[in-house]
Amino acid sequence: MTQLLQLEDRFQARIDAEQKIEPKDWMPDAYRKTLIRQISQHAHSEIVGMLPEGNWITRAPSLRRKVALLAKVQDEAGHGLYLYAAAETLGVSRDQMYEELHAGKAKYSSIFNYPTLSWADIGAVGWLVDGAAIMNQVPLCKCSFGPYARAMVRVCKEESFHQRQGFEIMMTLAHGTPAQHKMAQESLNRWWWPSMMMFGPNDDASPHSAQSMRWKIKRYSNDDLRQKFVDVMAEQAAVLGLTIPDPDMHWNADRGHYDFGTIDWKEFDEILRGNGPCNKERLDARNKAWNDGAWVREAATAFAAKRKSATA
């Protein structure tokens, strides 16, 4: 018992001294579990997040837009793979993570259970969803766990390209014809509140935040990041000439921040329970992709086995 306490103290001292924890280092079980939970949920989000945008690749309005969207969706696949690899260093297998996703047991970001109904939604996803993702993920580049922190550096570089791609689509539409402006505003109306939910529950309702911050996995609380997001987006919406659908949003000079309205947490809870507009569709699509790919996995395994026996 004393020995365990000593190990835990030494571990926390390393974290406090900003040293990175690497996979072979001693770590408390709860730290390992927290990271496996967060990194695997993050990986699943990247992979499921390809679906709403993939829906528009064949309908992009120009070759330039199609190329940029294709590159973005491929980047998300890459992010998922870096993250699955980072989680594997903690002792969980990729098959185990996939199984939990396909069985509907694993969480992924609530945002990807909403449909992309118009081309402007692709702009709104890039601008708002990638905007929220960057706000949350830049601090993760300084996460105490080395493999996660290093994966996030690359991910964040690509996410900033994604956000610009979205903002540029919104800029074109918002300053285009009245019909295009209307499309952009409708997308902002639909994506604003779901994007605000991406940061997770309020701090007083977030069971994991306090410990994750002590371990320097998270550097900012959910509410602090949400506030940063609001402050940036309020200014960007003004540049676009669009209105954020929140009558309570006002600049508060005393706080030096924008005030904003209350999130509908019932909607968030329903999505987490699997009852969002696209939860079923997303899981069905992932399961179909997994089942359709069985022959590829079989062929790859057979080839690897043959090569091994040939070189033995």
Interface positions with ligand FAQ (CB under 6 A): 37-38, 41-42, 45-46, 49, 53, 76, 107, 109-110, 125, 129-130, 133, 136, 197-201, 206-209, 212, 218, 222, 272
CA-to-CA dists, residue 277 to 95, 108, 116, 196, 281, angstroms: 27, 15, 11, 17, 9
3-state SS, one letter per residue, for 258-282: EECCCCCHHHHHHHHCCCCCCHHHH
Q: Which CB sits closer to ligand FAQ, 206 or 287?
A: 206
CB of 28 to ligand FAQ, least distance (A): 16
Q: Which CB sits closer to ligand FAQ, 161 or 182?
A: 161
CB of 194 to ligand FAQ, least distance (A): 9
Cα dihedral sign, 171-193-84-206: positive
Place of tokens 């020995």: 3
CB of 206 to ligand FAQ, least distance (A): 3
How far apart are alpha carbons 127 and 236 in whole angstroms? 9
CB of 214 to ligand FAQ, least distance (A): 12
Amino acid making up residue 165: Q
The Cα diameter of the chain in Å comes to 73
Spatial contact of 27 and 11, defined as CB atoms under 8 Å apart:
yes
Q: Determine the Cα angle at 95 with ends 307 and 107, to 5°.
A: 155
CB of 107 to ligand FAQ, least distance (A): 5
CB of 166 to ligand FAQ, least distance (A): 9
> What is the signed CA dihedral for 36, 31, 76, 296, rounded to 10 degrees?
-30
Q: Which CB sits closer to ligand FAQ, 182 or 223?
A: 223
How far apart are alpha carbons 105 and 99 in whole angstroms? 8
Q: Which residue is nearest to ligand FAQ (CB)?
A: 49
Q: Which CB sits closer to ligand FAQ, 207 or 256?
A: 207
